[in-house]
């Protein structure tokens, strides 16, 4: 079902362990670090990091070098793959990582992936102007662990409402635009480009966007299994170096964002219409941002508080239990030459 399946045997076989030196006279090239992600612009720093690393290795057209992007269709699938160790790294929902580490799944957040980038969409021809107008309506969210859902809760609370006033449906983000078009739902809250896809097609409009309502919004974070940190810390550091550099590069110039849309649209990454990704990058330019990928404890504390209020977390989780700041603190600048 997923593009990662062809490499599952390698992963199960321990291909991500450090290569053994001194055995024989020749060593095979180490297998790439497979990093799971969704085809959403909140994950855009991942394909850019993969491509930049390939270019730095002198293999710009290779499908992978040190890092290999693996596309998933939903958070439950990524969660399962990380929990079982089929993959060692992925972009994950921050509250979901908190919950998994509370259940003793050995994971650590090592970097942010973006800021902003969530939208709440309704049909262009709908009468909905404010959230009170959505009372009793069917609204899709990616997951109750998704920060998109926390965004929806924040907006409802401003008008004295709660999710109990709506019909909440969990749905994979790629399915949301079609569901809205078919009037199977009255609105949806998700990360881009699935808001932009319906907006650009001319049948939807944003009811609210994080860029105006929650500027320091974060949801997707780079997460790795602790055994990878223990067995190959330099590889994790290199991945963080490139992810952070990708964020800086993306926000450095409009031309970079346009180029990123072309890169991410490739079949080995998001496999999407590049014009839709470009629409996200340009309408407006700060619809999703990447230049500030600092990991700030108060922001994670806020997410935890909101998640506990939402009932998706049962209790507070110690920051040090789910975050490893050491890689961000030890970043070594790398060049993104794309």
pLDDT tens for 269-279 read: 999 999 999 99
Phi and psi angles of residue 167, each rounded to the nearest 5 degrees, phi first: -100, 105
**Residue 230 CA to its chain's centroid (Å):** 24
- Residue 229 near residue 318, CB atoms below 8 Å: no
* Phi/psi of residue 108, nearest 5 degrees: -140, 135
- CA atoms of 33 and 231, how far apart (whole Å): 13
Q: CA nearest 164: which of 310, 312, 313?
A: 310
Span of 141-150, 227-236, 246-255, 311-320 with lowest mean pLDDT: 141-150
Higher pLDDT residue, 182 or 59? Answer: 182
Residue 22 has pLDDT above 80, yes or no: no
Tokens of 71: 């596309």
Helix, strand, coil abundance in the chain, percent, nearest 5: 45, 15, 40
Helix H or strand E encompassing 109: strand 107-112
Taking only the tens place, the pLDDT of each residue in 37-91 is 999 999 999 999 999 999 998 876 665 568 999 999 888 899 999 999 999 999 9
How far is Cα 307 from Cα 154, in angstroms, rounded to an integer? 11
Give residue 9's pLDDT band: very low, low, confident or very high (50, 70, 90): very low
Over residues 127-139, mean pLDDT: 97
Nearest to 193, CA basis, from 113, 119, 289: 119
Instruction: Please tell me the distance from the alpha carbon of residue 45 to that of residue 215, in angstroms, as a whole number.
Output: 18
Q: How far apart are CA 194 and CA 191, in angstroms?
A: 7
DSSP H or E stretch at residue 242: helix 233-250
In angstroms, the CA 24 to CA 15 distance is 18
Q: Evaluate if residue 195 carries a pLDDT over 70.
A: yes
Average pLDDT, integer, range 164-168: 97
Could you state, in order of their start, the residue ranges of all structural domains in the chain?
Answer: 3-115+218-329, 118-213
Residue spans of beta strands (DSSP E) within 12-76: 33-37, 67-71
Topology match between the domains 3-115+218-329 and 118-213: yes
Mean pLDDT, range 217-240, rounded to an integer: 96
What's the CATH number for 118-213? 3.40.190.10
- Which pLDDT score is estimated for 58? 82
- Give the pTM: 0.87
In eight-state DSSP terms, residue 322 is H
Structure tokens at 304: 């935890």
- Tell me the average pLDDT of the chain: 90
**Nearest-angstrom CA–CA distance, 80 and 92:** 11
**Cβ(150)–Cβ(98) under 8 Å?**
no
Provide CB contacts within 8 A for 234, sequence distance 6+.
none
Listed as own residue / partner, the contacts of 267-270 with beta carbons closer than 8 Å and 24 or more positions apart are: 268/63, 268/69, 269/39, 269/47, 269/50, 269/69, 269/71, 270/39, 270/47, 270/71
| Class (C level, CATH) for 3-115+218-329 | alpha beta
pLDDT surpasses 50 at 20: no
Q: Is the pLDDT of residue 192 over 80?
A: yes
- pLDDT for res 215: 86
Distance CA 212, CA 273 (A): 26
Query: Whole-angstrom Cα distance, residue 182 to residue 314?
Result: 36
Give Dmax over CA atoms of the chain in angstroms.
72
Residues 271 and 39: beta-carbon distance below 8 Å: yes
């Amino acid at each position: 079902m997923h593009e990662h399946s062809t490499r599952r045997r390698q992963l199960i076989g321990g291909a991500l362990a450090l290569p053994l030196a001194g055995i024989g006279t020749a060593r095979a090239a180490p297998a790439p670090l497979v990093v799971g992600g969704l085809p959403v612009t909140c994950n855009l720093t991942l394909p850019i990091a993969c491509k930049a690393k390939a270019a730095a290795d002198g293999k710009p057209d290779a499908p992978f070098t040190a890092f290999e992007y693996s596309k998933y269709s939903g958070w439950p699938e990524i969660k399962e793959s990380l929990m079982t160790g089929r993959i060692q790294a992925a972009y994950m929902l921050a509250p979901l990582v908190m919950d998994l580490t509370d259940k003793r799944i050995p994971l650590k957040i090592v970097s942010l992936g973006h800021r902003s980038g969530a939208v709440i969409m309704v049909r262009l021809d709908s009468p909905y102007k404010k959230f009170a107008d959505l009372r009793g309506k069917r609204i899709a969210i990616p997951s109750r662990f998704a920060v998109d859902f926390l965004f929806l809760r924040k907006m409802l609370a401003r008008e004295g409402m709660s999710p109990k006033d709506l019909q909440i449906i969990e749905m994979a983000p790629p399915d949301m635009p079609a569901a809205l078009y078919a009037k199977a739902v009255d609105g949806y809250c998700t990360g881009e480009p699935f808001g932009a896809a319906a907006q650009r097609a001319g049948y939807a409009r944003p009811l609210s966007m994080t860029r105006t309502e929650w500027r320091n919004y974060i949801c997707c974070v780079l997460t790795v299994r602790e055994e990878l940190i223990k067995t190959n810390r330099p590889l994790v550091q290199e991945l963080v170096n490139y992810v952070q550099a990708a964020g800086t590069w993306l926000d450095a110039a409009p031309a970079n964002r346009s180029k990123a849309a072309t890169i991410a649209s490739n079949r080995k990454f998001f496999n999407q219409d590049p014009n839709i990704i470009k629409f996200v990058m340009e309408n407006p330019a700060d619809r999703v941002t990447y230049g500030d990928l600092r990991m700030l404890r108060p922001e994670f504390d806020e997410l935890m508080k909101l998640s506990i209020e939402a009932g998706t977390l049962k209790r507070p989780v110690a920051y040090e239990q789910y975050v490893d700041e050491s890689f961000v603190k030890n970043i070594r600048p790398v060049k993104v030459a794309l």
